[in-house]
Structure 1
Amino acid sequence: MDKEPKYTRLYSGENPVFEEGDIFRITIPLKRIATQKVGRENVPRNVPRNVPRMSPEELKSKIVEMIKNDSKVSRKFMAEELEVNEKTISRYIKEIANIRYVGKGKNGHWEIV
């Protein structure tokens, strides 16, 4: 209780008001500027984080090119090279009709049909 007046004076220049009754209450005076809402204007709500630097068609052609160059290339490697999320690579691979993965895990490989 000793520090409240000291720190409140630093922020507002006034002493807090202590009230004792059925309940104990402290009223801390604040400057008007401290009670105003700050920042909500001009801020878009859903700002995308991983915005692809290429169009979907460019990404798909790069994926096909990487698979042609190395049939054992991983989704993780493609994602790192193309600077997108691994799920983005998986989604685009599903959209490309003539690509399929044969085998399981590290023993498998990509085929372009």
Structure 2
Amino acid sequence: MLTLIKDNKITHDEMAKKIGVSKKTIEREIKKISQLKYIGSGYSGYWKMN
């Protein structure tokens, strides 16, 4: 979560590399966090906590 606070434009791949898990693990965990949303699309978007 701290990674998203510091860089709200980080990708799934970048998160996985920093944490040391697979991209699929990141995707599964993000789905569990109901307050976390991706705003926009592709590289022009960003993560936001509600």
**2:8 equivalent in structure 1:** 71
Q: State the one-letter code of the partner of 1:96.
A: I
**Structure 1 or 2: more helix by fraction:** 2
Q: Return structure 1 stretches of 4+ with deviation > 6 angstroms.
A: none
Q: Which AA in structure 1 matches 2:6?
A: N
Structure 2: distance between partners of 1:81 and 1:70: 12
Size of the aligned set, in residue pairs, is 50
Q: Which residue of 2 aligns with 1:88?
A: 25
The answer to which structure, 1 or 2, has the higher relative contact order (CA under 8 A, 6+ apart) is: 2
Question: What's the offset of the Cα at 1:103?
Answer: 0.6
Higher Cα Rg, which structure? 1
1:103 aligned residue (36, 40, 50): 40
Note the alpha carbon deviations across 1:11-61, whole angstroms, 9 max, x for none.
xxxxxxxxxxxxxxxxxxxxxxxxxxxxxxxxxxxxxxxxxxxxxxxxxxx
Give the fraction of aligned pairs with identical amino acids, expressed as a percent.
Answer: 34
What stretches of structure 1 of length at least 5 have no aligned partner?
Answer: 1-63
- Distance in 1 (CA, whole Å) between partners of 2:49 and 2:3 is 11
How far residue 65 of structure 1 moved from its aligned partner, in angstroms, is 1.1
Could you state the TM-score of these two structures normalised by the residue count of structure 1? Answer: 0.43
